Amino acid sequence: MSVFSASWNEHSAYLAGERAYLLHTEGRFRESLALFEGLLEVDSDNLYYRDAVSALHLSLGNPEEAIRYASSVIASESTYTNAFVRRCEGFLQLGMIEDAIRDLERMEELQAYGAAQRMKLRLRAVRAKQMERTSRDIEK
């Protein structure tokens, strides 16, 4: 349930969200995250804000937090494709391949083929990097 003060309204939230989005596109991830987290304080049920926080945590190199936020979006809306993409990316960053594959399969079930294809490419890259690392370790 959202709690808005008398001076806070949907228009104010929209403007703050737009500003946060623009900061994200400019690569100003920490500032964007601060705004989106503030927006979540006043509207904790907003899936867009939670998804944005997840994306920002990925950008800031915090895959655990990205997974946590993406999972909360998925728990609220099991067809929210972007949350599966973010969580899958977080799993890949942590080397949790099997978890990433499950999210990738769910994207395909949701017919999010473009997102699934992009994540398949990421999965291949992660696997190749793991193989390279393993080969290097064996040679030592």
Q: Which domains does the chain have, with CATH numbers?
A: 10-139 (1.25.40.10)
> pLDDT (tens digit, 9 = 90+) per residue, 34-69?
999 999 999 999 999 999 999 999 999 999 999 999
Per DSSP, the chain holds a count of helices (H) and strands (E) of: 7, 0
- Do 119 and 100 contact (CB within 8 A), yes or no? yes
- Residue 134's pLDDT band (cuts 50, 70, 90): confident
Check pLDDT > 70 for residue 4: no
SS (H, E, C) 76-117: HCCCCHHHHHHHHHHHHHCCCHHHHHHHHHHHHHCCCHHHHH
Looking at residue 75, its pLDDT comes to 98
Q: What is the mean pLDDT of residues 76-101?
A: 97
Q: What's the sign of the alpha-carbon dihedral 108, 106, 77, 32?
A: negative
Angle at alpha carbon of residue 124, lines to 98 and 47, rounded to 5°: 60
The pLDDT of residue 130: 87
Return the percentage of the chain with pLDDT > 70, whole number.
Answer: 94
Encoding tokens for residue 1? Answer: 């349930």
The rounded mean pLDDT for the chain is 92
